[in-house]
Amino acid sequence: MGSHKYRRLLLKALKIAAGSGMAIIAAELLGLSYATSAGIITLLTVQDTRQDTIQLTVDRILSFLLCVGLIYACFHFPPAGWVNYIVYILLMVVCCCLFNWQNTISVNAVMGTHYLMTPDYSLNFALNELTLILIGTGLALGMNWLMPSYRKKIREDVKTAEQGMKRVLTEMAEYLEERKSSGDVWVDLDDLEEVLHDGLRHAHEQVDNTLGEEDYYYADYLEMRLQQCSMLQTLRNSVIRIRKVPKQAVYVARYLEYLSECSAEKDSPEEQLWKLEEVLDQMNLEALPRTREEFENRAILFHVLMDLREFLEVKQHFLEAHPRHPDTM
């Protein structure tokens, strides 16, 4: 576990501890029954992201309204004992699962024990329970409102991904020119994919915490790069099928070298697509292959160029969907 994860773990533990203590104190100051339950509600409501905490808070309030009706139906009639509690738990769990409120089951079960221990079905006691939930969820929201930002780490991931993309494209060019072994290319390509997965995880967590336009941009950007990386994996599978590198491979290699210098975040692929068409035209001027093996190897090169066209179009679609860079927002 990295130092960043340790800091986040420690911060979450501190938020849970502080929030739970403050919830209990607030409930006691208001003279609520079962004040300690407010602390438990805070503990169970603090999530890893702000969005998850907001969603769980809404679910708790909605499930509370449902459970009040279930409690009235199950406890209001005799014998009002453990049998009633079991029936309540059965119905409550079924309803929570139907509405996808599984995370609220534990708190709703505790609320049922309050009615079991204090058979009070008045409006005041229901308000007591509602206030406990509002205090607990409110403190959880407050504790989670200030979340550590991944933005700096995401920008570092973007730079690392760009460097990795440039390195892989250069190594593929060197491989086609028989200047580099395939092992180096494939290891770096797998490393690039791992970097992109980590960056995308950070970006999605950042989006869930802030919902900012800039964070959506980087999440989509890393999704695009991961898609391109998958295309390079497909391209790799094509290249390794070449039995003997034909002389026309030099055109593809030079284009890959050119592409490696134009793969930065802000580089538009329009000129790259235009140069790709030039490479295709140049290869079409070559004499027809004379042997079956030469034909198959040349066909693979054309397939590689088609993959590169799709590789560039993915970025073009991304830039069309995101005409504004975060630096200009």
Per-residue pLDDT 10s for the chain (329 aa) are 455 567 667 878 888 899 999 999 999 999 999 999 999 999 998 887 777 888 899 999 999 999 999 998 888 776 667 888 999 999 999 999 999 999 999 999 999 999 888 888 888 999 999 999 999 999 988 887 766 667 788 888 888 888 888 888 888 888 888 766 656 667 888 888 898 998 888 888 777 766 556 678 888 989 999 999 999 888 888 887 777 777 888 888 899 999 888 877 778 888 889 999 988 888 887 777 777 887 887 888 888 899 999 999 999 999 888 877 666 55
Q: Are 162 and 186 found together in one domain?
A: yes
Closest CA to 72 of 59, 96, 91: 91
Structurally, how many domains does the chain consist of? Answer: 2
Residue with tokens 């994996």: 233
Instruction: Verify that 167 and 276 share a domain, yes or no.
Output: yes
Position 146 scores a pLDDT of: 66
Q: Are residue 159 and residue 107 in the same domain, yes or no?
A: no
Do 101 and 240 sit in the same domain of this protein?
A: no
The answer to whether 308 touches 235, Cβ cutoff 8 Å, is yes
The residue from 116, 145, 174 where one domain ends is 145
Same domain flag for 113 and 202: no
Are 116 and 192 found together in one domain?
no
- In the three-class reduction of DSSP (H, G, I as helix; E, B as strand; rest coil), residue 101 is classed as coil
Q: Say if residue 184 is in the same domain as residue 47.
A: no
Which of 115, 145, 175 is the last residue before a domain boundary? 145
Looking at residue 248, which CATH number applies to its domain? Answer: 1.20.120.940
What is the extent of the structural domain holding 37?
3-145
Q: Long-range contacts of range 112-116, CB-CB < 8 Å, 24 or more positions apart?
A: 112/67, 112/71, 112/85, 112/88, 113/85, 114/33, 114/34, 114/37, 115/71, 115/75, 116/75, 116/81, 116/82, 116/84, 116/85
37 CB-near residues (< 8 Å, 6+ apart): 27, 107, 110, 111, 114, 132, 136
Quick one: 181 and 314 in the same domain? Answer: yes
Q: Is there a single domain that holds both residue 204 and residue 128?
A: no
**Cis previous bond, 78, omega within 30:** no
Angle at 225 between CA 272 and CA 264, to 5 degrees: 50
Quick one: pLDDT at residue 226?
Answer: 92
With H, G, I as helix, E, B as strand and everything else as coil, classify residue 224: helix
Confidence at residue 89, expressed as pLDDT on a 0 to 100 scale: 93
From CA 126, how far away is CA 108, in angstroms rounded? 13
Q: How many C-beta atoms surround the C-beta of residue 244 within 10 A? A: 10
Give the count of beta carbons closer than 10 Å to the beta carbon of residue 117.
10
Return the pLDDT at 99. Answer: 94
Report pLDDT for 154. Answer: 84
161 and 117 assigned to the same domain: no
Of 84, 116, 145, the position where a domain reaches its end is: 145
| CA distance linking residue 3 with residue 304, whole number of Å | 41
Do 60 and 43 touch, CB atoms closer than 8 A? no
For residue 191, what are its two tokens? 């490393």
Does residue 113 sit in the same domain as residue 197?
A: no
Per-residue model confidence (pLDDT) at position 181: 62
Instruction: Indicate the residue type of 252.
Output: V
Same domain, 26 and 71: yes
**Phi and psi (nearest 5°) for 324?**
-105, 130
Q: What is the pLDDT of residue 185?
A: 63
